[in-house]
Amino acid sequence: MNILLIIASVATPSFLLGYALRRFALKLETKATSAKLEIALQAEQLSATVSASLDGIIIINAEGLVVDFSKSAERIFGFKKDNILGKNMATLIVPERYRGAHNAGMERMRDTGKANILGQRIEIEALRANGEEFMSELAISRSRSSSGDIFIAYIRDISAAKAAEKALLDAKEAAELANRAKTQFISAMSHEIRTPFNAVLGIFDILGDTDLTVDQKQLIETAEKTSKSLLRIINDVLDYARISSGSVKVLDEAFYAPDVFDDVYRLFAMYAKEKKIDLIVNDKAAEKIYLSGDLGRIRQILMNFVSNAIKYTHDGQIELIIKTLEAKDKTWELVCEVKDTGAGIRADKLGQLFDEFYMVDDVDTRASEGTGLGLTICKVLTRMMRGEIGVDSEVGQGSRFWVKVPLKQVSAPVQQDVSESAPADINGTQILLAEDNPTNRMVVSRILEKRGAIITQAENGVEALAILEIQEFDLLLTDIFMPEMGGKELVQRLRASTLINADIPVIALTAMGEMHEAEKLKSYGVNQVVLKPFDTKDLINAIATQCSEASEKIDMTTVQPVMKLSGGLTDGLDPEDLLMIKGQFKIDLKEVTKSLRNAVAQKDVEAAKFSSHTLKGLAGLYGLGELSDVAALTNSHCFPDTLAEMVEHGSRAIKLAEVSLLNLDVLFGDNEEAA
């Protein structure tokens, strides 16, 4: 019998069961050993990860006690792991002012299982072992262990990054502060330089209208040209400084494309003619369209091109070419070229032409004036308008400077009906001039009075506002930078008031850096801006335009008050006598009107009582019944408790007196020729 069969036959069920159990136990033991090894490996990997992490890792239990503290945490906080395990984290690394909130959060989490901070990154101050606070970035996650919930905090020291960020912000703030200081300095310098230039050029203008010898006229013309040349240099320097400070902006205004060179041509035509150079405008390739852009800046670039072309061209011609190239969506490229037949520029110098302070001529031998900034400014302005600029030249063959600017096509602007043929008429216009510079006051007054305007002067905004309270004007002409009260505040207060002059047109006559900057004055209530140094024609035209547009403007020259000499005065008087009386009356009326104006402005009751009484008698003597009655009414209210009425009637009396001064010929007759 087979031995196996014998064994099988004698094997009992209990033997087999024991064998199976031992095999199963062995498997369980093997799996447990593997699980332990895997857990140990995971723990080792976790420990390695925690140790290698650059961020500090702190593990706390639900009671807030530290159960693990990484090497990076030791480095960040300055605590040793052995010294911090089992201790309350809040008392060690949380600043005292935050501990209450931290403990409340931990308690809420234990009670409700909710923690608002989980899954978020926050920046918060933390505490080192030496008591030093630093900025940290914190993120917390929750996990479960055999002993309950644990919380893993990942902490990064961001104090260096924050310090660098603060340093960067401080540097930015310092740069902005320096930039503002530079802009203010430029604005002040512009005002200080342009203000005396305004007086100088104004005096030349006044002198030019007087009887002069041929030599004197030539001297004045030379001085005027020299002054304007110096002013161009100053403008270059100021423009460059403004561009460097970032205060230059470009505007959008509609203009007719073929007209781009018009003002430039008019400005340089005579100069080119003197040098026997043909100045030609070629607009054949310019579409008859309107574009929107900064025409002033474009012309500034073209003026620089033409000025240089004339400077370096001794014979031949200069061609001013305008082209418009259609792009897409009503966008066009405006291309302007200035071609000359001058000396040309060497190839090795072309690349430097638009560099700062670069001059083609050597400093010691150059034959032309300038700062070397003109083309640099042109380049920057072109970039600001998103355009391109360049030059092509060959020695002995001339040069071609060009600029190309992308612009939008727009509809034609509404044209104002202004007759250019009729000269501006400001005769009889009542103007208050607010200007702190005595020379400028004198120059502006002389220029405007020669054209028939009636000028009242104020040295600052405070004085101007006092005058505006009591006397009606057609226009306010004000400087911007004045002591006590500047032009901006003056205009703001005037517009916000209920004065009779609250709505009169205001022209700012200012030496601010540029028209772009000066245009901001319109937000204060200014109607128009005229930059110093001004052209006389421009100022007069501005005044005439503003006064003609002002609503309900009173034309002083057409007001005819009831004026008739008392019969006793005219008996037996010949024209010479009448002329003498007229002269004395004019002096007396001016003097008493001035006295009453000052008294009303200062609300001086006693002075107003005396002046109004004198005016009443003077007006009555010469038959000015209405003026005499209003002066008497003013006199009857010269008391402290009727101050408002005194100012009201006194202002009317002053107005009537000034109207009378304008119409003395109606009263006395025009006896100038008879005498």
Arithmetic mean of pLDDT, 179-193: 65
Reply yes or no on whether the pLDDT at 673 is more than 50: no
CB neighbour class for 440 (10 Å; exposed up to 12, middle 13-18, buried from 19): buried
What DSSP character marks residue 88?
B
Q: Name the percent of the chain lying above pLDDT 70.
A: 73
Burial track 194-217 (b if 16+ CB lie within 10 A, e otherwise)? bbebbbbbbbbbeeeeeeeeeeee
CATH code of the domain occupying 567-668: 1.20.120.160
Cα distances (angstroms) measured from residue 588 to each of 109, 582, 583, 584 = 95, 10, 9, 6
| Topology classification of domain 430-558 | Rossmann fold (3.40.50)
Reply yes or no on whether the pLDDT at 610 is more than 90: no
Shortest CA distance to 145 belongs to which of 77, 234, 43, 253? 43
More reliable by pLDDT, 42 or 125: 125
Q: Could you tell me the pLDDT band of residue 674, with boundaries at 50, 70 and 90?
A: very low
CB-based contact 62:112 (threshold 8 Å): no
Residue 226: how many other CB atoms lie within 10 Å: 10
| Topology classification of domain 253-410 | Heat Shock Protein 90 (3.30.565)
Quickly list DSSP for 420-431. Answer: SSSPP--TT-EE
3-state SS assignment for residue 285: strand
Would you state the pLDDT for residue 454? 92
Cα distances (angstroms) measured from residue 289 to each of 257, 296, 399, 410, 458 = 6, 18, 28, 8, 47
Reply yes or no on whether the pLDDT at 564 is more than 90: no
Strands 331-340 and 290-293: unpaired
* Chain segment 294-327, per-residue pLDDT in tens: 888 898 899 889 988 998 888 889 999 999 998 8
Phi, psi torsion values for 140, nearest 5 degrees:
-125, 135
- Residues 594 and 516: their CA atoms lie apart, in Å, by 39
Would you state the pLDDT for residue 675? 35
Would you state the pLDDT for residue 553? 42
Would you state the pLDDT for residue 620? 76
Domain 53-157 has CATH 3.30.1950.10: no
Sign, Cα dihedral of 242, 268, 255, 528: positive
Would you state the pLDDT for residue 573? 46
Reply yes or no on whether the pLDDT at 558 is more than 50: no
* Chain segment 431-445, per-residue pLDDT in tens: 999 988 887 788 888
- Residues 313 and 455: their CA atoms lie apart, in Å, by 47
For the chain, what is the mean pLDDT? 77
Q: Could you tell me the pLDDT band of residue 385, with boundaries at 50, 70 and 90?
A: very high
CB-based contact 539:587 (threshold 8 Å): no
Would you state the pLDDT for residue 37? 59
- Six-digit token string for 411: 């509809």
Shortest CA distance to 61 belongs to which of 42, 85, 39, 77? 85
Reply yes or no on whether the pLDDT at 369 is more than 60: no
Strand order in the sheet with 430-434: 454-458, 430-434, 475-478, 506-510, 528-531
Would you state the pLDDT for residue 671? 46
CA 351 to chain CA mean position, Å: 33
Shortest CA distance to 80 belongs to which of 66, 91, 90? 66
Would you state the pLDDT for residue 103? 82
Give ∠ CA 108-113-118 in degrees, rounded to 5. 85
Give the range among 151-155, 204-208, 333-337 with minimum mean pLDDT: 204-208
Would you state the pLDDT for residue 352? 72
Task: State the Cα torsion 96-98-104-107 to the nearest 10°.
Answer: -70
- Residues 578 and 589: their CA atoms lie apart, in Å, by 16
- Residues 455 and 477: their CA atoms lie apart, in Å, by 10
Quickly list DSSP for 350-410. Answer: HTTTTSTT--SS-TTT--S---S-HHHHHHHHHHHTT-EEEEEEETTTEEEEEEEEEEEEE
* Chain segment 451-508, per-residue pLDDT in tens: 888 999 999 999 999 999 888 899 999 988 888 898 899 999 998 888 888 889 999 8
Reply yes or no on whether the pLDDT at 88 is more than 50: yes
Would you state the pLDDT for residue 519? 63
CB-based contact 155:138 (threshold 8 Å): yes
* Chain segment 89-118, per-residue pLDDT in tens: 888 888 888 888 888 878 877 777 666 667
- Six-digit token string for 56: 């500090």
Strands 290-293 and 253-256: antiparallel
HSE-up (13 A, CA, CB side) for residue 465: 19
HSE-up (13 A, CA, CB side) for residue 571: 3
Give the range among 13-22, 260-269, 276-285, 350-359 with minimum mean pLDDT: 13-22
Residue 61: how many other CB atoms lie within 10 Å: 16
Arithmetic mean of pLDDT, 377-382: 88
Arithmetic mean of pLDDT, 366-382: 70
Residue extents of the structural domains in the chain: 3-47, 53-157, 253-410, 430-558, 567-668
Same fold, 53-157 and 430-558: no
Task: Tell me the chain's radius of gyration from C-alpha atoms.
Answer: 44
Quickly list DSSP for 202-262. Answer: HHHHHHHTS---HHHHHHHHHHHHHHHHHHHHHHHHHHHHHHHHT------EEEEGGGTTH
